[in-house]
Amino acid sequence: MFRTHTLGDLNKTDVGKKVTLSGWINKRRDLGSMIFIDLRDRYGKTQLVLDPEVSSIAYEKAKDFKNEWVISITGEVVLREKVNPNIKTGEIEVVVEDTQVLSKAKTTPFSIFDDKTQTNEELRLKYRYLDIRREPLLEKLKIRHLAMQETRNFFSENGFLEVTTPSLCKSTPEGARDYLVPSRLFAGNFYALPQSPQIFKQLLMVGSIDKYFQIVTCFRDEDPRADRQPEFTQIDVEMSFDGKEKLFSLVEEHLKRVFRKCKNIDIKIPFKRMSHFESLEKYGTDKPDLRFEMEFHRIDDIAKKSTFAIFLDVLKTNGCIKAINVKGGVDLSRKKLDNFTAFVNPFGLKGLAFIKKTDNTLSSNITKFFKEDVLKELENKLDIQNGDLIIIAAEKEGIVNQALDHLRRKIASDRNLIKENVFKFLWVDDFPLFEFDEENNRLKAMHHPFTAPCTKDLDVLEKEPLKVRADAYDLVLNGYEIAGGSQRIYDSSLQAQIFKLLNLSDVEIRQKFGFFIDALKYGTPPHGGIAYGFDRLIMMLTNTDNIRDVIAFPKTLKGLDLMSEAPCEVSEDQLNDLNIKTKDFHPITW
């Protein structure tokens, strides 16, 4: 037997007990007359004392011990002279009577006990098994575990059935690129790894499983982006006979429970709601960070009354003018403001106008273009107080929104307006059903092609499809989309009509989605659902903005596993079996 207790177990009630402990040597201090060892496992650390007067054999052995060796000891629990209040076992130590080396260790490429020093991430990925020993990563994996269990228990308790959906699926590339898997038995045919179990969960609804959930791995072969992984985890939920309101409250209750259990934080429910239109209008984005203010104000009407040529030109060409109020921003130097202008430039915004208010006076190089009463109107609209800085952008609406959104977040970050452990949830709903895909000159589904149009907009579906809103919604947390869902089309002919509007030919529709359109014809209940980005949720729960921090064995930006060195070349035999040939070879330097 290698242990009677873990290394987080013992406290002063155990004094006098004979125990067997095992773990990794975190640190060893040889004081000459005695050796102290901090032994570590995933539960904590326990101090060992090697005293030659208790066991000279154990003491002699311990002289050779190195960090990260795995040892097992037996000894007696005694009170510690100097209590360490920082660790759970800080009241006691164990006087070692016997010790055994279970496994020696080479010098690790980075320190395990010193987990505060920044270590090159590539090195940590290559030796992931060592990084997992360190508290920062270990704690995140524990929280991930906890969130998984709470999630499944929550949905199970609410009557949802977990159903395993397939990983080897049909390729229907709508949106992202599929990962493909060649079929060996049917040469030239391929499976695709699922981008989401969307179709399967809807078929479960057709199949009368009226409440479904799953925590499921999904795959997208997209181009590298910092917050993406080729494979990611999704909490997938679908339900019949209940609409958006029921789904919203379910998700709210679920997240309340997860935040309580994983972070000991009570989040307020129900969450705030905002239409997609309002969100763009006020924050220039469909995922606004509500931890800070600086809402946009559209000042077209006020600007119209000015004589400032730039504003007037923009308005004439259907642009818009929006302003934000940076409270207390008068302290920002000319240089800082010039930086802001440079910052928004890449988004297509040529300049910014600034107005400061000090001593009850607005000062700016543009105030001269405004009459007194119009300035007053501006002051009222933006609630400008002494000390405030107003930033104004004028351009095409898309450009203004994007530029001011980025600027707003930059200012919040620069000025430390973002408090820790504040969680601002927001439902954004009433998304447009379609967006226009300039590249392919066709309509594109904004959510996905199974999303139901809002009933009230159905009459303009054919004539003005871009005006149709979808019964779709995103859940936004602190500026990140953490879940997205919709009510689904449950009428077979409406589904076929949507595919046509998306410019799929009859042949394509039949080939890709024929079975699904057929399925809808056999009695389909009204249904809707949502998918949460689980990795993203864990990032929020663990205060990291690196997605690799919440995945045990993640891949790099380019999809490499630096530890096992995957992907890799495979044998000719393997390729022959699969009836494929490679056209090119790109060697990977590890």
Residues 361-400 that bind a copy of itself (CB under 8 A): none
Longest dimension (CA), the chain: 93
Interface pick for a copy of itself out of 15, 54, 78, 105 (rule CB under 8 A): 105
Binding of a copy of itself by 494 (CB under 8 A): no
The closest alpha carbon to 138, from 113, 102, 117, 118, belongs to 113
- Give whole-number Cα distances, 276 to 202, 271, 325, 438, 486, in Å: 25, 15, 22, 21, 14
The closest alpha carbon to 473, from 517, 425, 421, belongs to 425
Minimum CB distance to a copy of itself, residue 492 (Å): 9
Contacts of 376 (CB under 8 A, 6+ apart): none
**Residue 571 CB: number of other CB atoms within 10 A?**
8
Segment interacting with a copy of itself, rule: CB under 8 A, options 46-54, 141-149, 290-298, 340-348: 141-149
The closest alpha carbon to 531, from 468, 485, 499, belongs to 485
Binding of a copy of itself by 61 (CB under 8 A): no
Binding of a copy of itself by 174 (CB under 8 A): no
Pairwise CA distance, residues 115 & 133, whole Å: 10
Minimum CB distance to a copy of itself, residue 228 (Å): 13
Instruction: Check residue 479 and give left, alpha or beta (phi > 0: left; psi -120 to 50: alpha).
Output: left
Cβ nearer to a copy of itself, comparing 121 with 377 = 121
Binding of a copy of itself by 186 (CB under 8 A): yes
Binding of a copy of itself by 82 (CB under 8 A): no
Beta bridge partners of 31: none
Binding of a copy of itself by 464 (CB under 8 A): no
Site string for a copy of itself, 242-281 (x = CB under 8 A): x---------------------------------------
Q: Are 484 and 536 in contact (CB under 8 A)?
A: no
DSSP assignment, residue 432?
B
Minimum CB distance to a copy of itself, residue 91 (Å): 23
Interface pick for a copy of itself out of 37, 94, 169, 378 (rule CB under 8 A): 169
Binding of a copy of itself by 515 (CB under 8 A): yes
Binding of a copy of itself by 69 (CB under 8 A): yes
The first and second tokens of residue 387, run together, are 């000390």
Cβ nearer to a copy of itself, comparing 318 with 571 = 571
Minimum CB distance to a copy of itself, residue 286 (Å): 29
Q: What is the CA radius of gyration of the chain?
A: 30
Binding of a copy of itself by 22 (CB under 8 A): yes
112, amino acid identity: I
Pairwise CA distance, residues 528 & 519, whole Å: 16
Binding of a copy of itself by 178 (CB under 8 A): yes
Binding of a copy of itself by 226 (CB under 8 A): no
Q: What is the DSSP string of 68-91?
A: T-EEEEEEEEEE-SS--TTSTTTT
Interface pick for a copy of itself out of 79, 116, 123, 241 (rule CB under 8 A): 241
Contacts of 296 (CB under 8 A, 6+ apart): 281, 282, 283, 284, 322, 323, 324, 401, 404, 408
Minimum CB distance to a copy of itself, residue 250 (Å): 15
Interface pick for a copy of itself out of 62, 94, 125, 204 (rule CB under 8 A): 204
Cβ nearer to a copy of itself, comparing 27 with 152 = 152
Say what the alpha-carbon torsion angle 521, 522, 526, 532 is, to the nearest 10 degrees: -90
Binding of a copy of itself by 208 (CB under 8 A): yes
Pairwise CA distance, residues 224 & 227, whole Å: 9
DSSP assignment, residue 164?
P
Interface pick for a copy of itself out of 15, 70, 315, 517 (rule CB under 8 A): 70
Interface pick for a copy of itself out of 68, 289, 388, 405 (rule CB under 8 A): 68
Cβ nearer to a copy of itself, comparing 329 with 449 = 449
Segment 529 to 588, residues that bind a copy of itself, using CB under 8 A: 551-553, 555, 558-561, 563-571, 574, 577-586, 588
Binding of a copy of itself by 436 (CB under 8 A): no
Interface pick for a copy of itself out of 46, 74, 89, 165 (rule CB under 8 A): 165
Binding of a copy of itself by 40 (CB under 8 A): yes
Interface pick for a copy of itself out of 129, 260, 466, 545 (rule CB under 8 A): 129
Containing 397, the helix (H) or strand (E) segment is helix 397-414
Pairwise CA distance, residues 227 & 557, whole Å: 9
